[in-house]
Amino acid sequence: MKPADFAGRYGPWAIVTGASDGLGAAFAAELAAQGLNLVLCARRAERLEALAADLRQRHGIEARCIALDLGDAALQERLHAFCEPLDIGLLVAAAGFGSAGPWLASDPAEDAAMLAVNCGAVLAQSRWLAPRLARRGRGGLLLLSSIVAFQGCPGSAHYAATKAWVQTLAEGLRAELAPAGVDVLAVAPGPVASGFGARAGMDLANATPPAVVAAAALQALPGGGTSRPGAMAKLLGWSLATAPRPLRVRLMGRIMAGLTRARPATPKPA
C-alpha cells in the first residue's frame, strides 16, 4: 500500500504504546515514514521525547508524548483524555513484557503487573478506540501476540496465557469490526532482538530485528488476521499446525528451556 493510501486509511494519527524502545520504537519509525502523526506512550519520558524529536526531523510529522505506566488502570483515562482531541486511526499496542522460568519461582506481583499491561491495558485501549474507528468507517487495531499464544508454554506459562488472550481477542474483533471497515491484526513474532529478552531472563539467539517485525506487520494490516513475522515464527507455525495440542505444549516447553537462563526451582514466599 502506498504511503498516501496507508495514511488515508489509518491516519492522520496513530497511538503507539511501548514506544520507548524495541518493537514500539520500530513501529513508530515505520508509521512516521508512512506519514502518520504519532502519540507515543511509555514510562520513560526522556526516551519518548528523543524518539519524537528524531521522527519529527526525519519525516516532518507531528509527535506527542505521554509518559505513564500502562499497568496502572487508573492512568488509562489520562491516555484517553490526551488523545481525545485527535483523529486517531490506528492503535499499535506494543507495550508488554514477559518472564521465563518455573512458575512456582515467579513473583506474584510481577505476574499481576504482566496481566495488567499485556491484557488490561490492551482491553482499555481497544474498548476506547474501537467505537471511534467504527464511526469513522476505517482504521485499525494492531495487537501484539506471540508464537507462544497458540498453546500452553511450560517455562513461560503466564506470559503465554496473556498472549493467548490477546490472540483470541484480535481474532474475535477482526470478525466483528470488519463490516465497519476496521482492520484488526494479531502480530505473533518469535524472539525479537529488543530489551524484552533481558527483562524476561532469556537468551534470544537469532532473534528477529524489531524493524523487520514492524514492517511485515504493517504490510499485513489491511484486511487483518494474524501475521507471523520472522523465520522462527513461520517455521513453528507451519511445523506445529497439525500437531496435537499436548504435543505442542511439550515442544514449546523444550524450546523455552533452551532459551531460558537458569532460575531457582523452589517457590518464592508469598
Kindly give the interhelix angle for 121-136 and 157-177, rounded to the nearest 10 degrees: 10
Give the mean pLDDT of 11-16: 98
Cell of 115: 496481566
Please check whether residue 13 lies inside any domain of the structure.
yes
Please check whether residue 131 lies inside any domain of the structure.
yes
Please check whether residue 208 lies inside any domain of the structure.
yes
Q: Which residue, among 87, 58, 59, has the nearest Cα to 3 in the 3D structure?
A: 59
Please check whether residue 36 lies inside any domain of the structure.
yes
What is the per-residue DSSP string for 37-68? EEEEEES-HHHHHHHHHHHHHHH---EEEEE-
**How much is the mean pLDDT over the chain?**
89
What pLDDT does residue 100 have?
87
3-class SS string, 187-217: ECCCCECCCHHHHHCECCCCCECHHHHHHHH
* Residue 266 reports pLDDT greater than 70: no
Name the residue range of residue 242's domain: 3-259
The CA-atom distances, in angstroms, between 46 and each of 15, 151, 156, 219 are 18, 38, 31, 30
What pLDDT does residue 166 have?
98
Please check whether residue 140 lies inside any domain of the structure.
yes
What pLDDT does residue 54 have?
98
What pLDDT does residue 249 have?
87
What pLDDT does residue 107 have?
94
Q: How many helices (H) and strands (E) does the chain have?
A: 11, 7
Task: Answer whether 15's CB lies under 8 Å from 132's CB.
Answer: no
Please check whether residue 242 lies inside any domain of the structure.
yes
Catalytic site positions: 159, 163
The span from the CA of 118 to the CA of 125, in Å, is 11
Please check whether residue 269 lies inside any domain of the structure.
no
**Cell 523452589 identifies what position?**
266
pLDDT digits (tens, 9 = 90+) for 46-62: 999 999 999 999 999 99
% of the chain surpassing 90 pLDDT = 73
Task: Answer whether 65's CB lies under 8 Å from 72's CB.
Answer: no
Q: Which residue has the higher pLDDT, 85 or 269?
A: 85
What pLDDT does residue 31 have?
98
260 falls in which pLDDT band (50, 70, 90)?
A: low
What's the total number of domains in the chain?
Answer: 1
pLDDT digits (tens, 9 = 90+) for 101-154: 899 999 999 999 999 999 999 999 999 999 999 999 999 999 999 999 999 999
What pLDDT does residue 202 have?
52
What pLDDT does residue 231 have?
76
pLDDT digits (tens, 9 = 90+) for 189-220: 988 876 554 454 555 556 789 999 999 999 99
What pLDDT does residue 1 have?
81
CATH number for the domain including 41? 3.40.50.720
Please check whether residue 264 lies inside any domain of the structure.
no
Most confident of 203-212, 223-232, 236-245: 223-232
